[in-house]
Amino acid sequence: MKKFLLILLLPIFLNAQNFNDALRLSDLNPLVSAKSLALSNSNAAIVSDYSAVILNPAGLGLIKKSMLTGGYNFSSFSNNARLFGNKLNYTTTENNFNNIGYVYSFPTNRGSLVVAVGYQQLQDFNSSLKFDGFNKNSSMINNLSNQNDDLPYDLGLSFGVFNNSGNYLFDSTIITGGLNQSGTIIEKGNLSAFNLSGAVEIGKNLFLGGTLNIYTGSYTKERDFFEDDVNKNYQGETSPGIASNDFQTFYFNDVLDWEMNGVDLRLGLLYKLNNNISVGAMIKSPAVFTVKEKYSVHGESYFGSNVGYSVDYPTSKIEYDITTPMEMSLAGSFRFLGASFTTMVNYIDYTQMEFSDGLSVSLRSRNNKDIKELFRSGTNYAVGLEYKIPFTGLFGRIGYAYRPSPFNGDPKSFDRKYLSYGLGFLAANVLKIDFGYQHGWWETFGDNYGVNQSRTYQTIDSNTYLISLSYFID
C-alpha cells in the first residue's frame, strides 16, 4: 500500500499561509460615514463628525456640539470572470450595521476638548467568483499528485510508484488534463474597531487628536471546484487495485475561517489657516493582528457503475500574528463661494507587511521574503467637492479615489478606481441625515492552483450605499 502505512501524511492542499493573508489586513478602503463615502474619504482636513476617529482624529476638535451618530450600509460585489475564453458573471450582496458613536464636546472658555467612543465597521470582505471552462493542458488532480498530496490517492485518482526494492518513490496519475473545470469562490466577513478617541486645540486653530482602535473581525472563504471528464478521455483504471474505471468527476471543497483581533494607534494634526483653508496630517501606526485560523477540506470522486469515494480531513487549527505597515496621510481643504474642495493623499509601503509570530521559522521567513519581492509602496489619493445648495438645506457631494495595485509590475487596469456621490441634509439644526454611494472598478486575476495553469481573469465592479444619522445634543 502507499507509503506502506508507516506514516500518515496530512493533505498539503493550497491553504499554507501566504502574502495574500497579510494583504487582506493591510489594504483597507475604510467605510466610515455616508458623508466621507460621498467624498471618497478626501475630507480629512475638514472632517467634523464621528468619522474623524478614523480619517483624522484631530478633526474631532472642530465639533462644537455633542452628538450621537449611527450608520447602515449595503454593498454588492460583481465579478465577470473568464476562464479559457469562457465568461461568467457572479454577484453577491451584503448589508451591515456600519457604526454607532458618541462624541462629547466639553464646555470650554476658549479652545476645544472633545472625546469620542464607539464602534466602526471598517472593511467588508464580501466578494465572489464563478468560473467554467475547458482546460486541455492541466488538472488540479495532477497538480496535487505532483505534490504527493493524499487527496487524489484517497479518492482513487492517483497511485503510488515504487522502485524495484518496493520502496515508495512518489505519486502519479493518468489524469493530466482535458477536463472541464468549474466552481465558485465566496468570501465574506468584516473587520470592525472599537474606538477611543480625543482631540484638543493646542493653539489657536491648531488641533491635535488621537485614536486607539481595538480591532475584531471574521473572514470566511469557501471554494467549490469541479473537474469533469466531459469528453470521456479517462475510461481506464485510475488507481490499480480498486474500482476506478470510467472517471467522471472530481469535487474539491475547502473552507478557510478566521477570527482576528488587533490594535493600532492613529495620531492627527489639523490647522485652520483661516475660515476657507485648512490642512491636516495623520500617522497610523502598524497594526498587530492575531489570527486564529481553521481550515477544512472535503473531497469526492465519481466513476462509472455508480462507484464513488468521499473523504473529510480533520480541521486544522493554527494561530499566528500579522503586522501591517505604517501609513501617512496629508489632506487639504479650500472653501470658495459655498463650495468646499477637498483632497487627500495616503502613503503606504506594502513591503513592510510581516508575519511576525506563530508560524514555523521557515514558513515565516519565506512569506516575508515573498512580501519584499512581490510588493511595492504606493500612494493613494482622493479628491472631493461639497456644495451647499442655496435655500434648500441640502449639501451635494461628489468624490473620486485612486488606489494603485500593491503588486510590482501590475498593469494600470489593476489599479482600483472609485467614483462616489451623495447628499446631506440638516433638519431643525439637530438631526443630520447623510446618504453616500460609491462605485468601484478594477481588474485582477486568480489561480485555481499552480501558476497560470488554471487562471481566471476578472473584471470587478463594487457598489456601496451608506446612510448615516447624527443627532446633536446641546
CA distance 384 to 333: 9
Q: Do the Cβ atoms of 95 and 77 come closer than 8 Å?
A: no
Report if pTM > 0.85.
Answer: yes
Q: What is the pLDDT along the chain (474 residues), one digit of tens a residue?
A: 343 322 233 344 445 688 999 999 999 888 899 999 999 999 999 998 999 999 999 999 999 999 999 999 999 999 999 999 999 999 999 998 899 999 999 998 888 999 999 999 999 999 999 999 999 999 999 999 999 899 999 999 999 999 999 898 999 999 999 999 999 999 999 999 999 999 999 999 999 999 999 999 999 999 999 999 999 999 999 999 899 999 999 999 999 999 999 999 999 999 999 999 999 999 999 999 999 999 999 999 999 989 999 999 999 999 999 999 999 999 999 999 889 999 999 999 999 999 998 989 999 999 999 999 999 999 999 999 999 998 888 999 999 999 999 999 999 999 999 999 999 999 988 999 999 999 999 999 999 999 999 999 999 999 999 999 999 997
Given the C-alpha cell 494607534, which residue does it identify?
265
**Residue 422 has which C-alpha cell?**
451623495
Task: Report which of 445, 442, 469, 468 is spatially closest to residue 455, judged by C-alpha positions.
Answer: 445
Burial of 305 (0-12, 13-18, 19+ CB in 10 A): exposed
pLDDT value, residue 338: 85
pLDDT value, residue 78: 96
What are the residue boundaries of the structural domains of the chain, listed by start? 21-136+185-296+316-473
Tell me the sheet residues that pair with 216. 192, 261
Q: Do the Cβ atoms of 384 and 399 come closer than 8 Å?
A: yes
Separate counts of helices (H) and strands (E) for the chain: 6, 21
CA distance 112 to 142: 67
CA distance 80 to 200: 48
Tell me the sheet residues that pair with 169. none
Burial 372-387 (b: 16+ CB within 10 A, else e): eebbeebebbbbbbbe
- Choosing among 2.40.160.60, 3.40.50.920, 2.30.42.10, 3.30.70.1400, the CATH entry for 21-136+185-296+316-473 is 2.40.160.60
CA distance 291 to 21: 10
pLDDT value, residue 16: 64
**Residue 48 has which C-alpha cell?**
467634523
Q: Which residues contact 405 (CB under 8 A, 6 or more apart)?
A: 378, 414, 415, 416, 442
Task: Report which of 21, 14, 26, 24 is spatially closest to residue 295, judged by C-alpha positions.
Answer: 14
**Residue 444 has which C-alpha cell?**
485582477
**Residue 103 has which C-alpha cell?**
462624541
The residue type at 99:
N
CA distance 227 to 134: 9
Q: Which residues contact 377 (CB under 8 A, 6 or more apart)?
A: 347, 348, 349, 350, 351
The residue type at 386:
E
Q: Which residues contact 420 (CB under 8 A, 6 or more apart)?
A: 37, 38, 39, 40, 397, 398, 399, 400, 401, 436, 437, 438, 439
